[in-house]
Amino acid sequence: MWSSVELRHVRTFLTLAEELHFGRTAARLGVSPSRVSQTVRTLEVLVGGRLFDRTSRRVRLTPLGEQLRSQLGPGYDELQSAFLAAREAATGIAGVLRVGMYSRTNGGPLLVDIVKTFQDRHPACRVELIDTGFGRDQLDWLRQDDVDALAMRLPLSGDDLTIGPVLSSEARVLLVARDHPLAGRQDVEYEDLAPYSVADGPLPREMMAAFAPPTTPSGRRLARTMVHSIEEAIMRVSVGEIVHPTIRSFLEHYPHPNIVAIPITDLPPSETALVWLRTSTSAKIRAFADSATDVIDAHPP
């Protein structure tokens, strides 16, 4: 039976064991949910027992599935690492390194220097910067192998993620329209946002909760307005529909004549970092992270 097991069986099983959802697993693997179901059934036949309990509402691992995941997972990670190491030994640090970000602010003030330093050190490798936008889950870009690394705002957690060097750490400001009631203030506290709606977006909940906390210090819940792009958020702020807690350099990257920034005194600085999949760590990613660390160390705050 072992000779009949294919790598796609293992990958599908481990992905479903992580997601516990056929639709999300299919999206990550780039196949249909029916193909995921068929692959899992084939593997269950080869193993000789059920690996998942499935109902209309939930999917969960059986004890046999838990056992298989705990034993297969480390081996699969080692197999991936061995392949990447062999490929890098054959090709070196060459080709293209794809770095994604949904906002140009995520790269930090030294991104251009980091890219130039990396390409000077490794002239056979070109950095491609990709706008990931708001159209899909940011981590899907990594898990679908559409980017090699992301410049992402923190906090961000996940067993499959590596958080690399911090790219930026910035004080917080509130964006408001020039004729907004808060526009004349020298500074604000987060409690002052309670009467207004703030921008919300399709980004990791953990990150959004830290960037724009859902409640004020006194416990008042803020109204939230879903936006589908940074440009939409700017338009809504400019006409006074929403206010937007963000970072100090935002208006340097996205200037608007009818928006002003007011310091927020009681939110901690917001950080961004280079993020990549633990199992996709490569010589190119390590070299880019090293370049980022060296440039940042040479430019202390």
pLDDT at 170 over 90: yes
* CA-based nearest residue to 107, from 157, 145, 175, 164: 164
The reported pLDDT for the residue numbered 36 is: 93
Question: To which H or E segment does residue 289 belong?
Answer: helix 283-297
Q: Tell me the mean pLDDT in the region 252-279.
A: 96
| pLDDT tens-place string over residues 183-217 | 999 999 999 999 999 999 888 899 999 999 999 99
Q: What is the mean pLDDT of the chain?
A: 92
Q: Is the pTM of this model over 0.85?
A: no
Work out the pLDDT band at 29, boundaries 50, 70, 90. confident
| Cβ 149 vs Cβ 285: under 8 Å | yes
**Count of CB atoms situated within 10 Å of the CB of 262:** 21
Going along the chain from its start, the domains and CATH numbers come out as 2-89 (1.10.10.10), 92-168+271-297 (3.40.190.10), 172-267 (3.40.190.10)
Strands 149-153 and 95-101: parallel
